[in-house]
Amino acid sequence: MRISIPDDSEDLRSTRRERPPEPSRQLDPLLEPGPLDQRLERLREQAGQRNFPEIPRRQYERKIAPGPELNRESGERHVRSRNHLSLSPLLHVRLRPEERLTLAEAGRFRVLALKDVVQTIYGGDEWAARSDLRYLQRQGLVTLDIVNARRDGRARPVERFEVVSLTEHGERAARIANRIEPGQRLYHGLVKPREVEHDSQIYRAYRKEAAKVQAQGGEHLRVRLDFELKAEVQKAIYRLRKSEPYREINSIKQEVAEQQQLPFVDHEIQIPDARIEYDFDQGSRTGFSDMEVVTAAYHPGHLRSKVQAGFRLYASSSDHSTISARAEGDHHLLDRLLDL
């Protein structure tokens, strides 16, 4: 069955943001009354209660075609119009600027905490964020998961929070719908659920560090996560060991560290959680800043290695207090911790 999507003027999701209507509201005249209408009404009610039921959707063959780009600096966060992103001959997805930026950021950092999406992309409007995320989920572009927070061996109730990540189709759509810097890698899928809380905090650390970089004149920021950095280090070590099998491993590691511009501390290559690469003077010079999100699971020795590596260390308020208690008296370590 061929699906026809109406023009923007007839978009089933109005360009105006409205709160969920009362149950007695008349159904959209573009929809024929029936079981589907009842299902939509139930979903709207559940959305108002901030629930995320599994929303059934048909599977379409998605062949990405080029679409218009999003200018992140345009300040169009308040604009509710939607542009078309062609995913197949049968389906066109309309994306608002906030939806495009959400796809891009989830791709760059692999996973985002829902609360960070609400605060940084939607200006604190949780209802708007959830509405758009359900739309992206129905199009098969993102997944919403509820995961457990870390306990770090402490006796406390299990806390849960929601995270956003891209699907494979969402990764492709993110690259088409946004102006992605050359060399910027995008990710999809949720990996290592036990580390999701830590990984989701990288985005918060990035925003703080990026603001400092841009204030100093840095531009065209690219993010390289530890996944990418570790893969390049391992490949480089493998090549050297294969070409020089009798060479001492520490010598090989030190050479690889120099090649990748990574610190070599305590006979180990130190790899940050994320590296921000940027340009100066219209691309004539480049620089980078390495960040590490430290948690209560880090012991003082581990922290010292990160400090010696010169990484910018960020910690949440709860982790900061625990680390301070463990490293009491070691002010050199504590002075390097920055708040998320």
Alpha helices of the chain — where are they, by DSSP H? 35-48, 97-109, 114-120, 126-138, 168-177, 196-215, 226-243, 249-259, 300-309, 317-326, 331-334
Per-residue pLDDT of the chain (340 residues; tens, 9 = 90+): 443 333 443 344 544 455 555 554 454 444 455 666 666 677 666 655 544 444 333 333 333 333 333 343 443 333 445 666 665 544 567 899 999 999 999 999 999 999 999 999 999 999 999 999 999 999 999 999 998 887 665 556 668 899 999 999 999 999 999 989 888 999 999 888 788 989 999 999 999 999 999 999 999 999 999 999 999 999 999 999 999 999 999 999 999 999 999 999 988 999 999 999 999 888 788 999 999 999 888 887 888 888 889 999 999 888 877 787 776 667 677 778 888 8
Q: How far apart are CA 163 and CA 106, in angstroms?
A: 10
For the chain, which domains are there?
A: 40-191 (1.10.10.10), 206-339 (no CATH)
Task: State the pLDDT at residue 91.
Answer: 53
Helix (H, G, I), strand (E, B) or coil at 107: helix
Which of 64, 171, 151, 159 lies closest to 109, judged by CA? 171
Torsion of CA 85, 87, 90, 95, to 10 degrees: -30
Task: State the pLDDT at residue 100.
Answer: 95
